[in-house]
Amino acid sequence: MAGRALAALCALLLAPLAACGEANGESILDKDVLRIGVRTDLSLIAEIVDGEFVGYEIDVAEFIARELGKEAVFVPVDLHERAPQLLAGKIDIAIATYSITQERKQSIAFAGPYVIDHFDVLVREDDDTIASLDELAGKRVCEIEGSNAVERLTDEHGIEAEIRSVESYERCLTMVDAGEIDAIVTDELTLAGLALHADFGADLLGAHFSQERIGVGMRPGDTAGCEAINRAITAMYREGHAERYLEKWFSDTVLDLSRFPVPQFEGCE
């Protein structure tokens, strides 16, 4: 112990002092500008209208950036690009309908969740062959790369649907309209936006077949940054903004907003 004290002393005298403040990985708290990865193709959630980013998640992202005292810069990000762009340092955080799963946590970290969402099923109003989740067996369901909704349906619920890979939800909607697929499976916030803009009568089954905890994707190791975001989310709920944002964007949709709970945080490792 004494030897170590001496060794430390010697090391201190030999090393230039600047080297002592060695950074233990970067934190978003050290930045003035936060590059926030967001979706751009989801009505009500996040889209670009007249060159401006607007939507529920944009409001949440702006609130979090404001609480952290940072300037928010939005970067469009595709579902399957969220983790790679985070890890490559192209975006600092992702607020992009990102469900927290234990599997995803093996490679990236999550703050939040900031909202608890459920997976549901969108079908044509006039399609009376699908009234429950089980009736999706043998039906054509579209899948967007990077989403975990179809995995939940087929692996966890064992429903053998016919899966079609499609590049965007907009395209899925056109295909449902054209009768090329039967259903879209994803979270109800997304489906509510899609249903609102569909050119046909669209229905949500109300199946709520999974609970999705939508969080803020981060690079692993930034505990202080993650904790600061959790504090911002706590403030968002305590001050009533969380409820206001949901009402602002989803009050005209089929969603029952009274059911949205306070999120239990995942915890920052």
Partner 1 sequence: MMKLRDRAAHPPDADLAVLARLGLTRGDGGPRVLLVQATAVIAALAVVFGALYQAVGAAEESLGVIGHTSGRQVVATTDLYYALSDADSQVATVLLLGGTGSPLADAASERFEQRRGDVATALLEAHHLAGAADTQRGTIESIMVQWGEYQQLAAVALLLAERADYSAGSPPPAVLKAYREATELMSGQVLPEAYNLTLENATIVRASYDDARGGIDAGFIAAALAGLAALALLVWLQVHLTRRFRRVFNPSLVVATAVTALSLFTGLTVLDTERDALTEAKKDGFDTVLSLERAKAISNGLHADRVRFLLDEDAADVYEQTYFDKAQQLVYIEAVSLPRYRDALEDGGGGALTGLVGNALDGSAEAERVFSAYTDLILADARMRVDDGDPSVRIAPVDEARADYEDALDTLSKRYLDRFESAIAAGEDAVAGSTFLLTAAMAALSAFTFGGIVPRLREYR
Measured CA to CA, the distance from residue 232 to residue 240 in angstroms comes to 12
DSSP codes of every residue in 130-173: -SSGGGGTTSEEEEETT-SHHHIIIIIS----EEEEES-HHHHH
Helix, strand, or coil (residue 115)? strand
Q: Which is nearer to partner 1, 99 or 253 (CB)?
A: 99
List 30, 155, 167, 256, residue binding partner 1 (CB under 8 A)? 155
CB 44 within 8 A of CB 249: yes
Q: Is 162 in the site for partner 1 (CB under 8 A)?
A: no
Among 104, 234, 241, 243, binds partner 1 (CB under 8 A): 234
d(CA 268, CA 264): 12
Nearer residue to partner 1 within complex by CB, 80 or 259: 259
Distance of alpha carbon 175 from alpha carbon 169, whole angstroms: 10
Among 17, 23, 49, 178, binds partner 1 (CB under 8 A): 17
What angle separates helix 56-67 from helix 223-238, to the nearest 10 degrees? 110
Task: For residue 108, give both structure tokens.
Answer: 């990236």
Q: Decide: is 239 part of the binding site for partner 1 (CB under 8 A).
A: no
Omega cis (within 30) before 84: no
Cα 117 from Cα 96, distance rounded (Å): 13
User: By CB under 8 A, what part of segment 19-48 binds partner 1?
Assistant: 20
Which of 174, 223, 241, 243 is in the footprint of partner 1 by CB under 8 A?
223
Residues between 165 and 204 that touch partner 1 (CB under 8 A) = none
DSSP type of residue 220? T
Query: With binding defined as CB under 8 A, does residue 14 bind partner 1?
Result: no
Residue numbers 126-145 binding partner 1 by CB under 8 A: 133
Token pair 């751009």 is found at 40
> What gap in Å lies between CA 229 and CA 93, rounded to an integer?
10
Q: Does 88 contact partner 1 by CB under 8 A?
A: no
Binding part of the chain for partner 1, among 53-61, 69-77, 156-164, 180-188 by CB under 8 A, reads 156-164
Residue closer to partner 1 by CB (options 47, 143) is 143
225 binds partner 1 (CB under 8 A): no
Binding mask 100-129 for partner 1 (x = CB under 8 A): -xxx-xx---------x-x-----------
User: Which DSSP helix (H) or strand (E) runs through 7?
Assistant: helix 2-14
Q: Does 230 bind partner 1 (CB under 8 A)?
A: yes
Chain residues binding partner 1 by CB under 8 A are: 1-2, 4-5, 8-9, 12-13, 17, 20, 101-103, 105-106, 116, 118, 133, 151-152, 155-158, 208-211, 223-224, 227, 230-231, 234, 238, 259, 261-265, 267-268
